[in-house]
Amino acid sequence: MDALRFIEAKKQGQSLTATEIDELITGFTADRVPRYQMAAFLMAVWFRGMTDDETAALTESMLRSGDELDTSDLGGPSADKHSTGGVGDKVSLLLAPLAAACGLRVPMLSGRGLGHTGGTLDKLEAIPDYRIQLSNEDFLGVVRRTGCAIVGQSGDIAPADGRIYALRDVTGTVDCVPLITASIMSKKLAAGPETIVIDLKCGSGAFMTDLDRARELARLLTSVGRAHGRRMAVVFTDMSQPLGVSVGHASETLEALVAMRPGGRELAPADLVRVTEDLVAAMVRTAGFAPDHDAALVQVRRAWDSGDAWRVLQDWVQAQGGRLDWEADDLGLDVAPVSAEFIASGDGWLEIRDCRAIGLALADLGGARLQVEDTIDHAVGIDWLAATGQKVAAGQPLALLRAPEGEGRDKALRRLAGAVAIHDAANAPVPAILEVLEPK
């Protein structure tokens, strides 16, 4: 196989056939194509792009590089959500039991956080004894029994993506729409759900800061998914400020789980409730369980307020070994006490200018990884208390830091100071939902 020919062709802006792309991906996965040639190819794609057909072929080859789960006998239509990642994004912990309580089956494969974005797996690891690795059989068995399960993605699902992503990460080729599409969809398609809803986060805390590029990504993700016979919808959600209050693994888990209790919908942060409800409603509607968004929302709220979703959540967490004290205020989670406040430096209207910095401040506290191999402290966190467009007064706490005093905490406080601005004139609040790409 002549990898150089494919690199040259892409460098000149030519399109490759599905067979050529498959040769390259299969060759790379089997170590017949060296990393330096794959790196050159990725950079050529970054500059020249790919046609929709090439992107579909790339996705297909990456998908076929590993196992595909059979979700056809879960006792109901299967559905999943993929978030492109952000700060304080604990939605999966609510969404999986809610969707299950609405009658969907939710087999979720999840990842760890890297850099400023948190991963669902890290949040689940804050639950004592929760098992994130299950065999495929046990994983699907939990979904059959309880309606949902969330596990770590094994190396057998789309292994080509793992190898290519590692190269993209060190060659400046992550921010490339066709490569992102193939990466996300190869994993999602391998996990087998019939309905896939994408939570496409946009703003300074997301890797898509620009809504136009996010729309282009959404178009490609849905066209690849539909070509594979999946029902797809995209909800564009704001990530210019943390979602909910808690940022940090144990505290985010606590915030999500407490919100799922009957009555929790009224008490939980409004943006978290809105994003969760809209995503689950999109799943319900896209799966064909409701004729329109409003009818889907009625089902979601009934599942939430009746306690059905809370019961699914308990069954699911227990089925994966998690030990929680369901009656306790802290559910038995180890959340660090508040040790410092980040206060407003003046009177005026708040703007969160750099949400990414808030995610990185969690890393300063030891609660997020900068390198894949870093270990993290699940107990530390930041409670974010104020939103863009809110009127604040000098000395008012904008955030509470849950971490021991020390250099990390000082660095986090300095970083937070650079993340916000206080204006003399009122600025507009930001909506939690930016737009929705209709389900099909």
183, 222, 246, 253: residue in contact with ligand URA (rule CB under 6 A) = 183
Q: 325 vs 123, 242, 306, 385, CA distance in Å?
A: 17, 27, 21, 27
Neighbour count for residue 334 (Cβ, 10 Å): 15
Q: Which is nearer to ligand URA, 184 or 235 (CB)?
A: 184
Q: Is 254 in the site for ligand URA (CB under 6 A)?
A: no
Q: Which stretch binds ligand URA (CB under 6 A): 60-68, 176-184, 331-339, 368-376?
A: 176-184
Kindly state whether residue 200 participates in binding ligand URA, applying the rule CB under 6 A. no
382 binds ligand URA per the rule CB under 6 A = no
Letter for the amino acid at 216? E
Q: What angle in degrees, to the nearest 10, is found between the helix axes of 177-190 and 35-48?
A: 120
Footprint of ligand URA on 30-89 (CB under 6 A): 84
Provide the token pair at 127: 């639950």
Sheet holding 381-384, edge to edge: 246-247, 381-384, 397-402, 340-343
Cβ-Cβ contacts under 8 Å for 405 (sequence gap 6 or more):
339, 340
Q: Does 92 bind ligand URA (CB under 6 A)?
A: no
Identify which of residues 156 and 410 has a Cβ nearer to ligand URA in the complex.
156
Of 49-57, 178-186, 285-293, 406-414, the window that binds ligand URA (rule: CB under 6 A) is 178-186
- Distance of closest approach, residue 196 Cβ to ligand URA, in angstroms: 13
Are the beta carbons of 216 and 234 closer than 8 angstroms? no
Nearest approach in angstroms of CB 335 to ligand URA is 28
**Interface with ligand URA by CB under 6 A: which range of 180-188, 245-253, 375-383, 402-410?**
180-188
Q: Which is nearer to ligand URA, 111 or 141 (CB)?
A: 111
Judged by beta carbon, residue 183 or residue 388, the one nearer ligand URA is: 183
Torsion of CA 173, 195, 262, 151, to 10 degrees: -50
Among 438, 411, 88, smallest CA distance to 240 is for 88
| Of the residues 3, 124, 140, 180, which one makes contact with ligand URA according to CB under 6 A | 180
Work out whether 184 is an interface residue with ligand URA (CB under 6 A). yes
Phi first, then psi, for residue 409 (nearest 5°) are: -70, -40
Note if 161 is an active site residue: yes
Could you say which of 105, 123, 168, 231 is catalytic? Answer: 168
Active site residue 183: yes
Size of the site for ligand URA (CB under 6 A): 5
The residue from 83, 183, 204, 246 that is catalytic is 183
Give the range of 179-187, 256-264, 316-324, 402-410 binding ligand URA by CB under 6 A.
179-187
Which contiguous run of DSSP H or E holds residue 215? helix 211-227
User: Is position 329 annotated as part of the catalytic site?
Assistant: no
Classify strands 381-384 and 420-423 as parallel, antiparallel or unpaired: unpaired
Q: Which residue is nearest to ligand URA (CB)?
A: 183
CA atoms in the 13 A half-sphere facing the CB of 254 = 23
Question: Does residue 164 interact with ligand URA by CB under 6 A?
Answer: no
Question: Within 10 Å of residue 426's Cβ, how many Cβ atoms?
Answer: 11
CA–CA distances in Å: residue 250 to residues 254, 276, 322, 337: 6, 19, 13, 12
Contact 41, 74 (CB under 8 A): no
Do 269 and 245 touch, CB atoms closer than 8 A? yes
Among 22, 161, 278, 377, the active-site one is 161
Q: Least distance to ligand URA from the beta carbon of 189, Å?
A: 12
Of 188 and 415, CB closest to ligand URA: 188
- Enzyme catalytic residues: 82, 161, 168, 183, 187
Q: Which stretches of the chain bind ligand URA, using CB under 6 A? A: 84, 174, 180, 183-184
